[in-house]
Amino acid sequence: MPVAGPVAAGAEAGKGCRRHLLSVAELGADGIEEILRVSDAFVEVGQRAIPKVPALRGRTVVTLFAEQSTRTRLSFETAAKRLSADVLSFSVDTSSAKKGESLRDTVETVAAMGVDAFVVRHPSAGAPAAVARWVDAAVVNAGDGWHEHPTQALLDCYTIREVLAERAGRKLEDAGVECFDGLRVAIVGDVRHSRVARSQVLALGALGAEVTLVAPGSLLPPSLEGWPVAGVSTDLDAVLPLIDVCYLLRLQIERGAGAFLPSVREYSASYGLTAPRAARLAEGALVMHPGPMNRGVEIADDVAALPQSLVLRQVSNGVAVRMAVLFMLLGSTGTGDAPGLARSLGSDGG
């Protein structure tokens, strides 16, 4: 979906400079590649005995989560701490979050304590954009309603690039994003309610992959106008042998997806990746899931444990990718020179 209309707050068009990460749409192929390359450096940091660098020392990162999520919040907090930033974590009660009760009050109060970045997850689409309007700090969208979950798409792309480079025997620093060109990816499941799906479609589309959406009719969005997908199908079995990556979405039962289906069992019967279905995948095809998995629904237990399933790798890459995002948003803000995410142009010689 090309970004027509007003771009999300904080994005400065044309300079490649960014103050926030609200949507994958803002990044483009170059922006995505840049983040993946910086993530390489942070993967190395993560492998050290002391996986910590002083890069964001003295900065404060606040995680503001108005929706249940332990994994993503911990991942962001770990990322911030490994950059030596100070971390505050704020949970907003989900019911008052839905009513939007004084989100602005909460955010402004916290910001007054001196915050450099907010990591925001909220059940309403556009909430991180609203926070970006209200405060001076950088804002990272950790998931807003059905809209987007940019860091998830980035870490998934990172994982795909890492695995494909390994397979080809190439070193990561020599691997760009050409591996995505023409890559056939199926995104399976509750696309309608999935922010991961939206971000994923945007990222993979920008990188030149061929994306097919596979879902029952009631779980597709009302309109796919402008979505960079190569096709849509309701028949998972037919699609499986034709793809390089099978990306399974979580059935959003807690977001009401259950009402869109006769039953979870019927969903699993047609769209669950069981062992027999996994066997239909081409040799070397990858299986991915953003987690947490509804075992037995989207993916069978034994399939999750298969070697071509990358679920655990996705999780471990998450910290490095989030470190890259935080570093690029905060480490690159200038007080005068060239603010934003501009490419480093060398040191002064040392």
Dist. CA 320–CA 40, nearest whole Å: 8
User: By 3-state DSSP, what share of the chain in percent is helix, strand and coil, each rounded to 5?
Assistant: 40, 15, 40
- Please say which residue, 45 or 306, places its beta carbon nearer to other proteins: 45
Which stretch, 34-42, 160-168, 241-249, 282-290, contacts other proteins (CB under 8 A)? 34-42
- Please say which residue, 34 or 86, places its beta carbon nearer to other proteins: 34
Which of 38, 261, 293, 300 is the binder for other proteins (CB under 8 A)?
38
The C-alpha angle with vertex 308 and arms to 302 and 310, in degrees rounded to 5, equals: 90
Site string (114-153) toward other proteins, x via CB under 8 A: --------xxxxxx-xx-------------xxxxx-----
Which stretch, 41-49, 160-168, 235-243, 269-277, contacts other proteins (CB under 8 A)? 41-49
- Please say which residue, 52 or 265, places its beta carbon nearer to other proteins: 52
Which of 167, 170, 295, 343 is the binder for other proteins (CB under 8 A)?
343
Kindly state the smallest distance separating residue 152's Cβ from other proteins, in Å: 14
258 touches other proteins by CB under 8 A: no
Subset of 217-236 contacting other proteins (CB under 8 A): 221-227
Kindly state the smallest distance separating residue 29's Cβ from other proteins, in Å: 17
Distances in whole angstroms, Cα of residue 138 to Cα of each of 28, 157, 224, 339? 19, 23, 31, 12
Per-residue burial over 156-187, b if 16 or more Cβ lie within 10 Å, else e, is bbbbbbbbbbeeeeeebeebebebbeebbbbb
Residue type at 260? F
Q: Where are the beta strands (DSSP E) in 28-125?
A: 60-65, 86-91, 117-122
- Please say which residue, 66 or 278, places its beta carbon nearer to other proteins: 66
- Please say which residue, 100 or 291, places its beta carbon nearer to other proteins: 100
174 touches other proteins by CB under 8 A: no
Dist. CA 316–CA 306, nearest whole Å: 17
Subset of 85-114 contacting other proteins (CB under 8 A): 98-101, 103-104
- Please say which residue, 200 or 309, places its beta carbon nearer to other proteins: 200
Kindly state the smallest distance separating residue 77's Cβ from other proteins, in Å: 18
Q: What does DSSP say about strands 60-65 and 117-122: parallel, antiparallel, or unpaired?
A: parallel
Site string (186-215) toward other proteins, x via CB under 8 A: ---------x--x-----------------
User: SS3 of 191, please?
Assistant: coil
Query: How many Cβ atoms sit within 10 Å of the Cβ of residue 265?
Result: 11
Dist. CA 318–CA 312, nearest whole Å: 10
**Any idea what DSSP says for residue 24?**
G
Kindly state the smallest distance separating residue 147's Cβ from other proteins, in Å: 3
55 touches other proteins by CB under 8 A: yes
349 touches other proteins by CB under 8 A: yes
The H or E element spanning position 152 is helix 150-168
Kindly state the smallest distance separating residue 41's Cβ from other proteins, in Å: 4
Helices (H), 230-281: 236-239, 264-271, 275-279
